[in-house]
Structure 1
């Protein structure tokens, strides 16, 4: 149960709505039990009165009004309880998703989040949804059940203490034994059900999103078969949980029947020491009505195993420590753009091979540096270290003579614009994707930036309201690349890190984009990664990397004069 503590703390924000929902739920339950009890007594009393002289004096109006009143109260209370409790629960789940996402963001990238996208999505959606069981199926039914149990037992005890005490003891015993029994029975199945949901979602998304590649390599039938196997596991787990639900209902019906027989036997000689009369029907119907409060109690603990498994999966993220923690009170300043890399050494977690080894260089504000080298030599990793997605195991990186580890995160992020190899496009409009870089930008500025990067076609039709689709499915790879460059232009930070910004673009578009970038970067500090030997003459420094180290460094002219590896590259083209 300790796994639920972080989520129970969030309940304090919505205590009023949750408490009001429980009160309305209690009022609805009491109205339902009162309706059935009063109806049973009224029918029996009316029948007896109709067979005797009491039919002339029996008050038919008051009990009939009570039946109508309780019926209306039950209907209105059920509607109000659903509206209030579900509204509070949905707000609680929204807060929980925000809470989870805020805990997740600092962990990326990091070894704790080395998870599939589908698994993270499952935790954010399905596992968070499972947390509503804590209130709707655990806390609320137990609190309402205990109060209603005392109320119905006290009501019967007012007429006959023996009947009230017997019914109270039976209900109390069931309330504390059935949940334990069904928690033990459902614990393993609940865990299996949660993991089966996660496995099925992961496999299904892999199958759907990878259709083109799977068909190309003739692997689609195997993936479809694996997806169907995951589906079978999920259906089996759901069938077992449904079986437990049916068993709980059967046990409650059996307990209701035997308790009713016992109560009728005790009341057969009269209720409260009187001769047998319609009060026997009142005791019988009150007994049947009292078991209505038991229905949600058994199911509450049946799904507790599923809820606890979801909580543990969420806690794996929530309690994880980021690999690069930031001090919220860290250094803040207007950045000039001086960068100093001092003998950094970096190895990825779980790997024995160094990615970067004793890399050092210095850049003054406004200086331009190009990084060259074959794939896997550590260029992109160096950019990850410059943005402090990772920290080097040895050495340090300083921005304006302040180590990156001492900077406040927001200040560091505002100081750096990044165009990475992978441009993430969110399932939204063009405007929404651009405002991520500059939230205060107006439509005119956004349109101008799109025109600068050659995306004026996106302004046709719906314009900035054009829907880009999941991952930018509505646009080409080159357009996604240029949309990432547009974000960097809008962010307008003093330091720019460009990782293959023109990859996938044709020669003409590449020249246009490079001209735009060099114009925009005139006064900025720039680190430029490229495989293509273009624009290097305008760089203040060119560093050629191999095996995680800088093997040649200088400007274009000096490196050409050295007749080394850099010169060989130019002679090949």
Structure 2
């Protein structure tokens, strides 16, 4: 099963109609050209039927009829060329809008959803599904429109030529109807399963590549190889299922649309012998039916592609279902209120029935420096993520300025609260580009000041702001990447900062110096620090101690030491560890 939702068939059809309605002129122009091209293609069979009917006495008309046929063929080719061009232009416009909307939705996904979905699922929807949909929009939809218009107008021409000869064409209806219904009832599920299996395969390969050093260090090559083989086998079975559907459906359909040709010749011949239809009508209708084979064949072929494209479209639209609820407060309303963060009865579970946090109650005053400490596994980082709005709590409420944090628009939430962890990402681009993420219009003077605050200007100046960094370019050391993330924090200047081991990759002395520098820069801001280095707690206005997902103590450093409780034990244990001689 996919970790992200998949749109229903009704939603896919609704969105497709919406996209088409956004370009009414282009759509009408394209359809008009297709109709004119089809009408031009109906001229030749009529004239050829006339020639056959009058073959023994209309020799003088052959040249003129041939010229008309040639003109009709040229007109059809010209109109078809411009019709396809118009359809492709329309398809590109629709595809461009789809891509823009999809990227916009992906970039606003909650972090909890991104982490739960995994990289393979998102990468597959962003790459493979978009590519499949592009092929469908650019090729399948226009060609299907041409084929459908040709079939409809050709059947109309048959009715006008000899209504009784439409009956042989109906021979194919039961065959095509039943086989198509059988196929469509199974195709959507089959293609969705194939896409999900491909996403799982992509995710597994990505994990193996990203964790290559760990795989090598622990000798996990065989187990990872087995995982990849398992994913390949599942993807193979899923693809084999869709291949089976096509191998059953297409031969039956091919037989179905060949039957009308034989039926028209047989029944038409009998009707001609009985004097019910003319030879010209039989000839013309036979040519029309023969002419239908190509469009019907294309319809059947593209029907399969449309199912593939529809499955990809459903997966792309499924991202839209993962939307964050927007609040009704105006931007800035929370900041003007001057109220802090209030945590009331919060509990949280990553898996149903296994609470990581239980009945947490906490109030963080504006401008307060709060330290959250506790043993590993106490729930400190989880609480930090909830306080930053990365994830909503499973129960209880977290409010900022009286408003539920989870219901604030993402743009407003990030101005109010920002989380900095020990996990940082350096984007491929210049060092300047990586800093401008936080403040796009910042000048180089502001970038330099931010780098100086986090003690990074020395190496940044040597490197140069225009140096390419990131994957495939100049690699930054873990400590440098952490300083870069903290420089972004300085530039972003949020009202509340949650620091979750944000200086853990620096040596203790450098980390201590950096924390003091940040304290000066963040003066007046609310700072929530989650740390194992308890000097952070010593400098804080208040310390909160967590154990087993609950707040067990809260107070100033000196007060908690005097109480001799969990914080005092942590403090003495930490100091004892610092005093222990190195091996």
TM-score with structure 2 setting the length: 0.79
Question: Which residue is 1:7 aligned to?
Answer: 15
- CA RMSD for the aligned pairs? 4.2
Residues 411 and 186 of structure 1, relative CA distance in 2, 3 Å threshold = closer
Task: Tell me how far apart the structure 2 counterparts of residues 307 and 220 of structure 1 sit (CA, whole Å).
Answer: 32
Residue of structure 1 equivalent to 2:373: 372
- The CA deviation at 1:380 is 1.6
Measure how far apart 1:346 and its partner are: 0.9
Aligned position for 1:196 = 194
CA contact under 8 A between 1:248 and 1:298: conserved in structure 2?
Answer: no
CA contact (8 A) 2:417 2:498 kept: yes
- Judged with a 3 Å threshold, the aligned counterparts in structure 2 of structure 1 residues 560 and 205 are, in CA distance, closer, same or farther, namely same
Q: CA deviation at 1:271?
A: 9.8
Superposition deviation, residue 529 in structure 1: 1.1
C-alpha displacement at 1:530, in angstroms? 1.3
Residue 339 of structure 1 and its aligned partner are, at CA, apart by 2.2
1:367 and 1:526 in contact (8 A); partners too:
yes
Does 2:286 align with 1:284? yes
- For residues 237-260 of structure 1, the C-alpha deviation after alignment (integer angstroms, 9 at most, x for no partner) is 353255246415632563254145
**Deviation digits for residues 198-232 of structure 1, max 9, x if unmatched?**
21332233124413133442323313322432343
The answer (yes or no) to whether the contact 2:431–2:466 under 8 Å persists in 1 is yes
Q: 1:408 to 1:202 in 2, by over 3 A?
A: closer
Q: State the shift of 1:419 in Å.
A: 0.9
SS of the residue 1:210 aligns to: helix
Asked whether the equivalents of residues 468 and 474 of structure 2 are also in contact (C-alpha less than 8 Å), the reply is no
Is the aligned partner of 1:484 residue 2:485? yes
1:455–1:269 CA distance, 2 compared to 1 (3 A): farther
Please report how far the alpha carbon of residue 436 of structure 1 lies from its aligned counterpart in structure 2 after TM superposition: 3.5
Are the counterparts in 2 of residues 137 and 297 from structure 1 also a CA contact under 8 Å? no
Q: Is the 8 A contact 2:500 2:531 kept in 1?
A: yes
Q: Which of the residues 16, 27, 38 maps onto 2:25?
A: 16
Asked if 1 retains the 8 angstrom alpha-carbon contact of 2:542 and 2:555, the reply is yes
**Residues in 1 aligned to 2:205 and 2:285: alpha-carbon distance in whole angstroms:** 60
- CA spacing shift, 1:375–1:297, aligned 2, 3 Å: same
Closer/same/farther in 2, CA of residues 72 and 516 from structure 1, 3 Å limit: farther
Alpha-carbon offset, residue 526 of structure 1: 0.6
Any idea what SS the aligned residue of 1:355 has?
Answer: strand
The structural deviation recorded for 1:282 is 4.2
The 3-state SS of whatever aligns with 2:227 is helix
- Give the whole-Å Cα distance in 2 for the aligned partners of 1:465 and 1:31: 61
Structure 1 residues without counterparts, runs of 5 or longer: none
1:542 match: secondary structure: strand
In the aligned structure 2, how far is the partner of 1:76 from the partner of 1:506? 73
Q: Distance in 1 between matches of 2:273 and 2:134?
A: 47
| Change in 2 beyond 3 A, CA 1:385/1:262 | same
* Counterpart secondary structure, 1:114: helix
| Alignment equivalent of 1:115, drawn from 114, 117, 142 | 117
Alignment gaps of 5+ in structure 2: 1-8, 579-583
- In 1, the alpha carbon distance for the partners of 2:476 and 2:270 equals 78
For residues 381 and 220 of structure 1, the distance between their equivalents in structure 2, rounded to whole angstroms, comes to 30
Task: State the match for 1:567 in structure 2.
Answer: 571
Distance in structure 1 (CA, Å) of the matches to 2:394 and 2:156: 70
Inter-partner Cα distance in structure 1 for 2:460 and 2:38:
58
Measured in 2, the distance between the counterparts of 1:6 and 1:102 equals: 20
Partner of residue 497, structure 2: 496
- Contact 2:261/2:286 (8 A) holds in 1: no
1:243 is the counterpart of 2:247: yes
Contact 2:343 2:398 in 1 (8 A): yes
Number of aligned residue pairs: 557
